[in-house]
Structure 1
Amino acid sequence: MTLTGKTALVTGGNRGIGLATVRALAQAGATVHFTARSAANLAAAQRELGPVIATGHVANMTDRLAMTTLFQQPFDILINNAGIIGPIGRILDIQVEDWARNIDTNLTAAFHATQLALRHMVQRGGGTIVNLSSGAAHRPQEGWSAYCAGKAGLAMLTRSVHMEYGDHGIRIFGFAPGVVDTDMQGTIRASGINPVSKLPRASLAPADEPARAIAWLCTPAADPLAGSELDVRNPDLRAAAGLPPLA
């Protein structure tokens, strides 16, 4: 698996699945950029990466001007990873402003990044976009109305991009990484509000597994799957991406 000569951007690449994806793409030969919300988060990510070379940018996904400035340079690969889980709570217990903030981060900001990336990709004859999806895009979870709605919208965005620009060389995938040991899962466990919060930490997957699958999706080997919603737990996908079979 090689991505030599490709330039990639991972949003929210300073921790969790995003940071693992930065590492996986760089190890595959790509020139990798990533975003973080603050200089402190950026510095922490660079320490975690160690000898892995990647360029960090302080940019909040919802800051339209910052993202427009960042996308003045073209990227061959966009990983729409940045996202939030909250507000966690039943519909009558949450504020509409918090609900809207989730949609702006998980859906509207991902649309904006996709739009900015497409302008260069279409001109250059192709590119790859991976949207971090979730089982929540297809199955509601108590207390996650905003997250489920945002991920469902993102799944439809994936299909829309494939329909409109697949013939222009754009390869886009929705990818559900499974239940991974990240800070977001810590927030979910603390809420105690639905079955996902009850999962023991020992049962959660390491972040490097979905990251390796994401890197594989950026290679031509994944061409037949373009436009699809994929799940890291699918045995055929795991085998193709070189991941161990699930127990």
Structure 2
Amino acid sequence: MTLSGKIALVTGGNRGIGLATVRALAKAGATVHFTARSAANIAAAQRELGDIPATGHLANMTDRIAMATLLDQNFDILVNNAAVIAPIGRILDISAEDWAHSIDVNLTSVFHATQRALAHMVAKGGGTIVNISSGAAHRPQEGWSAYCAGKAGLAMLTRSVHLEYVDQGIRIFGFAPGVVDTDMQVAIRASGINPVSKIPRENLAPAQEPAQAIAWLCTPAADTLAGQELDVRSPDLRAAAGLPQLD
């Protein structure tokens, strides 16, 4: 699995699945950039990465100007990883403002980043986009109306980009990473509001597993899967990406 000569951007790449993806892409030979919301987060990520080279950029996904400037660097690979789980709560218990902010981060901002990157990718004849999806895109969860709606919209955005630009060399994937041991899961467990919050931490998957699959999706070996919503728990995908089969 080699991505030598490719330039990649991972949004929200300073921790969790994002940081593991930065590491996996760099190990595959890509030149990797990532975004984070603070200089402290960038510094912490680079300490975690150690000798693995990656360039951090201070950018909030909802800052259209900052993201546009960054994406004009002409990336070959875009991993739309940044997302929020909040607000967690039943519909009568959350604010419209918080709900709208979730949609902005998880869907509208991803559209903007994709649109900006896509223009450069089409101009040079191709590129790869991986949108981090979720089982919540297809199955509602109590207390997650904003998150589920955002991820459902993202799944349709993935299919739309594939329909419109596959003939121009664009490979786009929706990828559900499973239930992974991340800070987002800490917030989910603290809420106690649906079955996902009851999953013991020891049953959560390590971030390295979805990261390895994401890196594999960025290679030509995954061409036949373009345009699909994929799940890390798929036996065929796990075998192709070199992951151990689940019990």
TM-score category of the 2 structures, normalised to the smaller one: over 0.9
2:142 equivalent in structure 1: 142
2:95 equivalent in structure 1: 95
- CA positional deviation for 1:9: 0.2
Equivalent residue of 2:35, what SS?
strand
How far apart in 2 are the matches of 1:30 and 1:96?
A: 40
2:157 equivalent in structure 1: 157
Deviation >6 Å, runs of 4+ = none
- CA positional deviation for 1:46: 0.5
1:116 equivalent in structure 2: 116
Cα deviation, 1:101-138, whole Å, max 9, x if unaligned, reads 00000000000000010010000000000000000000
- CA positional deviation for 1:71: 1.3
Cα deviation, 1:83-114, whole Å, max 9, x if unaligned, reads 00000000000000000000000000000000
How far apart in 2 are the matches of 1:206 and 1:4?
A: 26
Q: TM-score if structure 1 supplies the norm length?
A: 1.00
How far apart in 2 are the matches of 1:14 and 1:71?
A: 18
How far apart in 2 are the matches of 1:63 and 1:4?
A: 30
Equivalent residue of 1:12, what SS?
coil
- CA positional deviation for 1:45: 0.4
Q: Which amino acid aligns with 2:96?
A: V
Equivalent residue of 1:143, what SS?
coil
Equivalent residue of 1:42, what SS?
helix
Structure 1 residue 40 corresponds to structure 2 residue 40: yes
Q: Which amino acid aligns with 2:117?
A: A
1:233 equivalent in structure 2: 233
Structure 1 residue 8 corresponds to structure 2 residue 2: no
Equivalent residue of 1:87, what SS?
coil
Q: How many pairs are equivalent?
A: 247
Structure 1 residue 19 corresponds to structure 2 residue 19: yes
Q: Which amino acid aligns with 1:48?
A: E
How do 1:186-201 residues align onto structure 2 when only pairs under 5 Å count?
Answer: 186-201=186-201
Equivalent residue of 2:12, what SS?
coil
Structure 2 spans left out of the alignment, 5+ residues: none
1:205 equivalent in structure 2: 205
Equivalent residue of 2:53, what SS?
coil
Cα deviation, 1:203-231, whole Å, max 9, x if unaligned, reads 00000000000000000000000000000
Structure 1 spans left out of the alignment, 5+ residues: none
Equivalent residue of 1:180, what SS?
coil
How far apart in 1 are the matches of 2:174 and 2:184?
A: 19
The answer (yes or no) to whether the contact 2:72–2:117 under 8 Å persists in 1 is: no
How far apart in 2 are the matches of 1:196 and 1:74?
A: 38
Q: TM-score if structure 2 supplies the norm length?
A: 1.00
The answer (yes or no) to whether the contact 2:176–2:230 under 8 Å persists in 1 is: yes
How far apart in 1 are the matches of 2:174 and 2:153?
A: 11
- CA positional deviation for 1:72: 1.7
